[in-house]
A and B are shown apart, each in its own frame.
Chain A
Amino acid sequence: MTDRRQAKGEPSEAEAIAGAKQGDAEAFEFLYHLHKRRVYSLCLRMTANTAEAEDLTQEAFLQLFRKIGTFRGESAFSTWLHRMAVNVVLMHLRRKGLAVVSLDETPEGDEDAPKKDFGADDLTLSGSIDRLQLQAAVQRLPPGYRTIFVLHDVEGYEHNEIADLVGCSIGNSKSQLHKARMKLREFLKTSRAEKAGKP
């Protein structure tokens, strides 16, 4: 990807960072377009709100550009930006009073109890999942579950990193993730059953 861009005469990311440090407008714009989808998608997944996601994307990039003079290249630029975006979103969720991580037990009760789909004649969630259905299911998750699922399964953060970011224990992060996945499975099976016309 980088080679193709440079073959077309476009700057490399390192050149754009150097240009942005000098206040070059095109360099800022280049960096924005390079990373906008990743940052915006993260914000959208975690807030489930388009307007909020755009505002948070703007805030994340502005924070990055204000601090770009301090970037020394010890870590990947994308990692630095991504971590900044995650912090911006988490601060926003905390300000709104939303539980960043749920501390409650499973709302439906004891998760060791037999599940209603145990041996039930439900449609199987086999094969691939429609991406739009998965997006819709993620948006339906409670905020705490959604945060952990997005950070771990979508964005690839490890549990120890998530624990640092959101201020919970590693065990809590694992527990919330499992509950989020189970909830998504439930939503997707329900959605598939509705599509098939079953009651």
Chain B
Amino acid sequence: MTCAELRRELPELLEGDPSAKLQAHLVGCGACSELVRNLETIIREARSLQACEEPSPRVWNSIEIALRQEGLIRQPEPKGRAAFVPSLARRWGVAAWLVPSAALVLVGAFLIVGRQPRVEQLPGAESRARVQVTSRVDVTDQQLLEQLALDAPLMKAAYEKELNNVNEYIRDAQNLVDENPNDEGARQSLMDAYGQKAVIYQLALDRSLP
């Protein structure tokens, strides 16, 4: 076998077992045996290129936004909250849903009254304003709980727990909106969170029901 003949058969040689003639040529020819060794090394090392690179975080961020926009991601349910409203609806019947929009107005009124006007648009001013809003909401919750402690002390602990849960839901939803201000799903999630808080207020304020 000549060197030229070996090079013609090289693709097949590398894919399978070499013939005896070919092996005999390799034993006697340094250049061809070096060529075969080099190519075998390249083939062996090529596998190390598989799955060795990491994409930047922006790839997942873009995927997640697209999935939410296309409705392929279901909106997250607040922990322990999904069962709350339906169970109360079963207990209180229609009254559990008495004018939830009025309750929203009630909560909204507390927020608007408590919210400081934005003087600047700087990021620091925005975060300070948000902290102030959160503080006002907490103060309002405290006022509600203090009233409950007077009117229905046995229910205060339960409502306090539910308010903590829904406030956490609101904070999570707010963070999502902050990270993705153009995400309709995130804004809807925030509105749902406030809606649930409105229901809690309505139920707490209408304490004459069992």
In the complex, the chain B residue whose C-beta lies closest to that of A33 is B60
Residues 123-144 of A, flagged 1 when their CB comes within 8 A of B and 0 if not, give 0111111010011001000000
Of B62-70, B119-127, B164-172, the one touching chain A: B62-70
- Contact residues, B92-107 vs A (CB, 8 A): none
In the complex, the answer to whether B11 meets A111 with C-beta atoms within 8 Å is: no
- Interface size of B by CB at 8 A reads 42
Does B59 count as interface, using CB distance less than 8 angstroms?
yes
Contact in complex: A135, B72 (CB < 8 Å):
no
Residues of B within 8 A of A44 (CB): 53
User: Given A41-B49, A129-B45, A154-B49 in contact, is the A57-B55 Cβ separation under 8 Å?
Assistant: yes
Q: Is there an interface contact between B3 and A118, defined as CB atoms closer than 8 Å?
A: yes
Chain A at the B interface: mostly helix, strand, loop or mixed?
Answer: helix
Would you call A87 an interface residue if the criterion is a C-beta within 8 Å of the partner chain's C-beta atoms?
Answer: no
Q: Which residue of B lies closest to A137 (CB)?
A: B42
Given contacts A40-B54, A62-B63, contact A177 B11 (CB under 8 A): yes
Number of A-B contacts (CB under 8 A): 134
Chain A's closest residue to B48 (CB) is A131
B53 near A32 with CB under 8 A, answer no
Residues of B within 8 A of A134 (CB): 42, 45-46, 48-49
- A interface residues, Cβ below 8 angstroms from B: 22-25, 28-29, 32-33, 36-38, 40-42, 44-45, 53-54, 57-58, 61-62, 65-66, 111-112, 114, 117-119, 124-129, 131, 134-135, 138, 149-150, 153-156, 174-175, 177-178, 181-182, 184-185, 188-189
21 residue pairs bridging A and B, Cβ less than 8 Å apart = A23-B72, A25-B64, A28-B72, A32-B60, A37-B52, A41-B51, A42-B50, A45-B49, A58-B62, A111-B7, A112-B4, A119-B31, A124-B34, A128-B45, A131-B45, A134-B46, A154-B49, A174-B15, A178-B10, A181-B14, A188-B42
Q: Which residues of B contact A (CB under 8 A)?
A: 3-4, 7-8, 10-11, 14-15, 31, 34-35, 37-39, 41-43, 45-56, 58-60, 62-64, 66-67, 70, 72-74, 76
